[in-house]
């Protein structure tokens, strides 16, 4: 399904600030895989998602989705088959547009946009159903501007928008990190439900080890631009957070100190 | 007094077309486009040249739409493909247009007083000032209706989202570069059309007539927002027209109380500054600022 092969990404190449954010990374996702991605700050997690989405071009390697090389496509072209949710709840929605307008924008993902009316009656009905399923009362706010919504509501909308047209691949970058624990839990449940219902192939970055173990069927750990640990379904099931930390120390041959706080919060 | 009022309304309407262009870039695309100071006289220059060369006044009024669109496209390409900041891209096009406009006209100024224009054609059957008001209202209403329709189409909504949250709309598969270029093209097409009509209205085209146009447009947009609010697109576009008329009335009033016409740019700048710093406007802008920093 998604085959990443020997991908290297270097920022600020040939300057004093040169930084290898991804170092020869290879990763394969099967159809329906839900892979959680953990790693300390600056490990390259976001960069991995960003090179898949086309925000950054890669320096070498290949990225194939269903056998098609996508690493040369611009971001907006890849977006027609990749759904994304960002960490910042403000980033995923257009604030001065209404709830239904935002959903309509998402509804047109991957289709040719023309001079048809942006929202049809049929769309509205669908939006209502989908929003009702979120259980946040958003179905009564279809014509409200999104800037009036809370961060949690906006993030729930973003998850919905990223999956409204079924993407071949869903990329989630710490999409619950900026929310309070209660809201975060809701978004996690919502994510799990939507991913399961649609059998979405998903890559989810999280700082929360617990979350990384309980969600999804596979887990990878990144460190300094490399995948240092890859767990399949069975290995993952028997893992605890302490085991993960131990693994980290074993692989790296160094003590897991300042990262612990970050990784376990 | 009535004459003073009518003249201001005429001007307010004809300049409203330019202000609607400014609204599209400044408010919808969140792009401070200074091309306006060049594309406005571009429209006037093309219209004046075509009329004195014997083309039909209607053609001389509509061809500037295309010319203005081209100017906008150039600014858009400089900004998106050339990676020049928006402000500078606009200034570059505007500066280049100054020379181009002089080339088009062949001299700094073309009088149109004894020429046949859309206005003389129109007023042959309808008495003045109704002819002007009718003609300009008709043009403004067309443009307003176009925007009110276009901004709710799929492409129009993608364009609004480009100004509102480019990250988001790119992640939904929209080429934001193309949207910016499209928005700049439409905006400057309107600005040039306005220039073409103004030249025929005032009876001449002048290479200098674009100076400060962007501020006049901004003043209209902001005054409109303060007076009418901007709850939705139809409200906002109507507000621009109202703002433009109020702005022209304010300018006429300033002249009436004894200011010189050379003082008008200063007055306009002060007007914009006052408008920008009054509380109501502040709250409008605060929303925008929160939006752009988030
Ligand atoms: N646009 C960029 N320009 C330059 N360097 C960058 C850029 N984006 C990321 N980097 C660098 O690449 C490295 C990996 O960054 P990345 O954002 O992928 O880390 P991360 O694993 O997502 O970390 P975090 O947990 O803090 O989100 C970091 O050293 C970062 O400073
Ligand atoms: Mg990150």
Dihedral angle, C-alpha B57, B59, B62, B68, nearest 10 °: -100
Question: What Å distances lie between residue B108 and B98, B140, B204, B206, CA to CA?
Answer: 10, 29, 11, 6
pLDDT tops 90 at residue A199: yes
pLDDT band at A250 (very low <50, low <70, confident <90, very high): confident
pLDDT band at B288 (very low <50, low <70, confident <90, very high): low
pLDDT tops 80 at residue A251: no
pLDDT tops 50 at residue A196: yes
* Cβ-nearest to A118 among B152, B168, B176: B152
pLDDT band at A255 (very low <50, low <70, confident <90, very high): low
In this structure, how many other beta carbons lie within 10 angstroms of the beta carbon of residue B113? 9
Task: Provide the shortest C-alpha distance from residue B16 to chain A (in Å).
Answer: 24
| pLDDT tens for each residue of B82-107 | 999 999 999 999 999 999 999 999 99
pLDDT tops 80 at residue B171: yes
Distance separating alpha carbons of residues A101 and A118, to the nearest angstrom: 8
Substitution target from A81, A92, A102, A105 for chain B, most B beta carbons within 10 A: A105
Distance separating alpha carbons of residues A105 and B170, to the nearest angstrom: 11
pLDDT band at A96 (very low <50, low <70, confident <90, very high): very high
pLDDT tops 70 at residue B289: no
Question: What Å distances lie between residue A137 and A134, A154, A157, B212, CA to CA?
Answer: 8, 12, 12, 48
CA of A52 to the centre of ligand 1 (A): 15
| pLDDT tens for each residue of A201-240 | 999 999 888 899 999 999 999 999 999 999 999 999 888 8
CATH number of the domain at A2-109+122-252, out of 3.40.50.11540, 3.40.50.300, 3.30.750.24, 3.40.50.280? 3.40.50.300
Task: Provide the shortest C-alpha distance from residue B91 to chain A (in Å).
Answer: 28
CA atoms within 13 A on the CB side of A83: 28
The H helix count followed by the E strand count for chain B is 13, 2
Where do the structural domains in chain A lie, given as residue ranges?
2-109+122-252
Is residue A159 within 8 Å of A190, Cβ to Cβ?
A: yes
pLDDT tops 70 at residue B130: yes
Q: Hey, is the C-beta of A90 within 8 angstroms of any chain B C-beta?
A: yes
The predicted pLDDT at position A261 comes to: 45
pLDDT tops 70 at residue A265: no
The predicted pLDDT at position B290 comes to: 61
pTM, two decimal places: 0.92
Q: A74, B173: Cβ pair inside 8 Å?
A: no
| ipTM of this complex | 0.90
User: For tokens 């960069």, what's the residue?
Assistant: A47
Is residue A90 within 8 Å of B294, Cβ to Cβ?
A: yes
CA of A40 to the centre of ligand 2 (A): 9
pLDDT tops 70 at residue A254: no
pLDDT tops 80 at residue B284: no
Q: What is the largest CA-CA distance in chain B?
A: 56
Averaged pLDDT, B146-163: 98
pLDDT band at A264 (very low <50, low <70, confident <90, very high): very low
pLDDT tops 50 at residue B126: yes
Averaged pLDDT, A151-170: 96
Q: Give CA A73 to chain center in angstroms.
A: 19
Q: What rounded mean pLDDT belongs to chain A? A: 92
The predicted pLDDT at position B227 comes to: 87
Please write down the long-range contacts of A106-109, taking CB distance under 8 Å and 24 or more positions apart: A106/A160, A106/A161, A106/A162, A106/A164, A106/A165, A106/B172, A107/A164, A107/A165, A108/B154, A108/B158, A108/B172, A108/B173, A109/A79, A109/A80, A109/A83, A109/A164, A109/A165, A109/A167, A109/B172, A109/B173
Q: B165, A75: Cβ pair inside 8 Å?
A: no
| pLDDT tens for each residue of A16-26 | 999 999 999 99
Task: Provide the shortest C-alpha distance from residue B170 to chain A (in Å).
Answer: 5
Distance separating alpha carbons of residues A239 and A69, to the nearest angstrom: 34
Where do the structural domains in chain B lie, given as residue ranges?
2-209
Angle at B232 between CA B227 and CA B236, to 5 degrees: 40
Q: Hey, is the C-beta of B172 within 8 angstroms of any chain A C-beta?
A: yes
Distance separating alpha carbons of residues A166 and A83, to the nearest angstrom: 8
pLDDT band at A139 (very low <50, low <70, confident <90, very high): very high
- Cis status of the peptide bond prior to A252, with omega within 30 of 0: no
| pLDDT tens for each residue of B181-221 | 999 999 999 999 999 999 999 999 999 999 999 999 999 99
Q: A97, B172: Cβ pair inside 8 Å?
A: no
pLDDT band at A260 (very low <50, low <70, confident <90, very high): very low
User: What is the share, in percent, of chain B residues with pLDDT greater than 70?
Assistant: 95
Averaged pLDDT, A177-189: 92
Cβ-Cβ pairs closer than 8 A, A with B, add up to 94
Q: Hey, is the C-beta of A181 within 8 angstroms of any chain B C-beta?
A: no
Ligand 1 contacts (CB < 6 A) are A 11-12, 19, 21, 39, 41-47
| pLDDT tens for each residue of A15-68 | 999 999 999 999 999 999 999 999 988 999 999 999 999 999 999 999 999 999
User: What is the share, in percent, of chain A residues with pLDDT greater than 70?
Assistant: 95
pLDDT tops 70 at residue B21: yes
What DSSP line would sit under B258-284, residue for residue?
T--GGGHHHHHHHHHHHHHHSHHHHHH
């Amino acid at each position: 399904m998604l085959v990443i092969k020997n991908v290297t990404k270097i920022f600020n190449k040939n300057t004093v600030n040169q930084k290898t954010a991804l170092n020869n990374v290879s990763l394969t996702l099967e159809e329906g895989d839900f892979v959680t991605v953990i790693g300390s700050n600056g490990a390259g997690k976001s960069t991995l998602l960003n090179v898949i989405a086309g925000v950054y071009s890669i320096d070498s390697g290949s990225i194939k989705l269903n056998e098609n090389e996508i690493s040369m496509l611009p971001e907006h072209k890849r977006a027609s088959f990749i759904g994304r949710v960002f960490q910042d709840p403000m980033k995923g929605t257009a604030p001065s547009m209404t709830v239904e307008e935002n959903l309509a924008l998402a509804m047109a993902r991957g289709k040719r946009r023309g001079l048809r009316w942006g929202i049809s009656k049929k769309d509205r009905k669908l939006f209502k159903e989908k929003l009702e399923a979120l259980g946040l009362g958003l179905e009564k706010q279809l014509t409200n501007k999104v800037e009036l919504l809370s961060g949690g509501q906006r993030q729930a909308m973003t998850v919905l928008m990223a999956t409204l047209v079924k993407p071949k691949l869903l990329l989630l970058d710490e999409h619950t990190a900026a929310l309070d624990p209660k809201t975060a839990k809701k978004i996690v449940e919502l994510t799990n439900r939507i991913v399961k219902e649609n059998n979405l192939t998903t890559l989810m970055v999280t700082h929360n080890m617990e979350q990384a173990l309980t969600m999804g069927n596979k887990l990878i750990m990144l460190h300094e631009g490399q995948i240092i640990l890859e767990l399949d379904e069975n290995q993952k099931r028997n893992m605890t957070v302490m085991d993960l930390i131990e693994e980290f120390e074993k692989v790296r041959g160094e003590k897991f100190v300042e990262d612990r706080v970050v990784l376990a919060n | 007094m009535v004459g003073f009022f009518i003249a201001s309304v005429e001007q307010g309407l004809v300049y409203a077309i330019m202000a609607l262009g400014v609204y599209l870039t400044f408010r919808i695309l969140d792009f401070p486009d200074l091309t306006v100071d060049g594309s406005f006289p571009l429209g006037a220059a093309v219209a004046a040249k075509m009329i004195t060369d014997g083309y039909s006044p209607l053609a001389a009024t509509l061809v500037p739409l295309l010319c203005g669109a081209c100017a906008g496209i150039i600014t858009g390409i400089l900004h998106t493909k050339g990676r020049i900041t928006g402000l500078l891209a606009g200034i570059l096009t505007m500066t280049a247009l100054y020379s181009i406009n002089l080339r088009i006209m062949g001299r700094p100024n073309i009088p149109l007083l004894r020429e046949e224009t859309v206005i003389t054609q129109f007023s042959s059957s309808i008495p003045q000032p109704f002819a002007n008001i009718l003609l300009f209202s008709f043009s403004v209403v067309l443009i307003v209706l176009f925007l009110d329709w276009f901004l709710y189409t799929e492409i129009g909504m993608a364009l609004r989202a480009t100004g509102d949250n480019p990250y988001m709309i790119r992640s939904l598969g929209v080429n934001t570069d193309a949207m910016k270029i499209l928005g700049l093209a439409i905006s400057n097409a309107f600005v040039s059309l306005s220039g073409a009509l103004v030249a025929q209205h005032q009876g001449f085209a002048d290479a200098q007539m674009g100076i400060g146009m962007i501020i006049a447009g901004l003043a209209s947009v902001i005054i409109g927002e303060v007076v009418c609010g901007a709850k939705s697109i139809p409200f906002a576009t109507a507000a621009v027209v109202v703002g433009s008329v109020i702005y022209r009335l304010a300018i006429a009033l300033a002249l009436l109380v004894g200011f010189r016409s050379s003082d008008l740019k200063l007055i306009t700048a002060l007007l914009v500054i006052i408008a920008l710093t009054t509380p109501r406007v502040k709250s409008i802008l605060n929303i925008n600022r929160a939006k752009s920093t988030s």
